[in-house]
Structure 1
């Protein structure tokens, strides 16, 4: 019953969000076009519910010659590929806003595990252990308020699994406002930094 309510509320809230945020969308479109050559939106194949692939939408933050379908943490010196406006968009998570369209289409939910790249086999395999692919992937999720880019693949999957097991309206509200708080503090945003939290803890022990 909650999953049906979740889908209906996703549609209504994303439609309202698209209308209310349309002036911001326009401003970001202008900034991206003035900053660098290339399309405004960036499409990338991701893993959705029941492992069905879909094209996620983002505002483009990287140069058009960036290697495709490569997770940021696997790029050599990822900073070199990011545009000036892109750096701001990624730090504030504004690059994710076009995913409101993915939510309207039914590819995603507002809250859920962040969708893995189609070739992030390690993350996909770990999430299978927790039945994470039974849910629609989210614009933000439980892992995003507990470390985001700093988390290791194993820890990220465990947190996503916790959400699957304890999914509720109260938890969704907690994640939503926790995400806003994290964005304002720029917590967990580390370019090329998957697993850096684990590395920090290891260094403390040493």
Structure 2
């Protein structure tokens, strides 16, 4: 109920900003404004997660050509100065504004405001401890996002996600939401 109420409220409050972002993306070079990816949700069910498009068209298909630049050590693919990211996209990522369309996923019940970040279906290897991440809905923000974001190694991200799964509570969710604001404003660990 909290996700639905807060998600709807946040969605309504951010609609004007989303309209401006849509215009900026369209003015930068056309193409689709939104990017949809298959992600793994609660219980291992795949769903389509929405984001604002921050990369050049066709960038995901060219991902294999950049594997040697990957700075992550686990199930994530991260490059600090990813050449596939557009100038507007770089700003959106730095300010985490590219994540705003995920509020639609929250309202639809596919995501929660707080929880482990959903991994790409093609990157997910849910065996052993990582399988425990799927006991709760994935979140727009989570414990590892407010603890260093992309700067953390995979094992630390997994440890924080599992800590969240075991200790999930409304109080913990509120604490993480409060810590999200300074994490976004400082852009610590943003890529």
Both proteins in one fold, TM over 0.5: yes
2:114 is aligned to 111
Q: CA RMSD in A?
A: 2.0
1:16 is aligned to 9
1:200 is aligned to none
Which aligned runs of 4 or more in structure 1 are off by greater than 6 angstroms?
none
- Structure showing greater radius of gyration is 1
8 Å CA contact 2:49, 2:105 repeated in 1? yes
2:33 is aligned to 40
Which consecutive residues of structure 2, in runs of 5 or more, have no partner in the other structure? Answer: 71-76
TM-score where L is the length of structure 2? 0.88
Work out whether 1:83 is the aligned partner of 2:76. no
Which consecutive residues of structure 1, in runs of 5 or more, have no partner in the other structure? Answer: 1-7, 192-206
8 Å CA contact 1:132, 1:161 repeated in 2? yes
The structure, 1 or 2, with the larger RCO (C-alpha pairs under 8 Å, 6+ apart) is 2
Q: More displaced, 60-69 or 79-88?
A: 60-69
| CA distance in structure 2 between the aligned counterparts of 1:184 and 1:164, rounded to whole angstroms | 26
2:176 is aligned to 175
The correspondence for 1:95, drawn from 83, 94, 98, is 98
Secondary structure of the structure 1 residue equivalent to 2:113: strand
1:56 is aligned to 49
2:24 is aligned to 31
Secondary structure of the structure 2 residue equivalent to 1:143: coil
| CA distance in structure 2 between the aligned counterparts of 1:65 and 1:77, rounded to whole angstroms | 19
| CA distance in structure 2 between the aligned counterparts of 1:106 and 1:70, rounded to whole angstroms | 30
TM-score where L is the length of structure 1? 0.82
| CA distance in structure 2 between the aligned counterparts of 1:77 and 1:112, rounded to whole angstroms | 24
Deviation at 1:85, TM superposition (A): 0.5
Higher share of residues assigned helix: 1
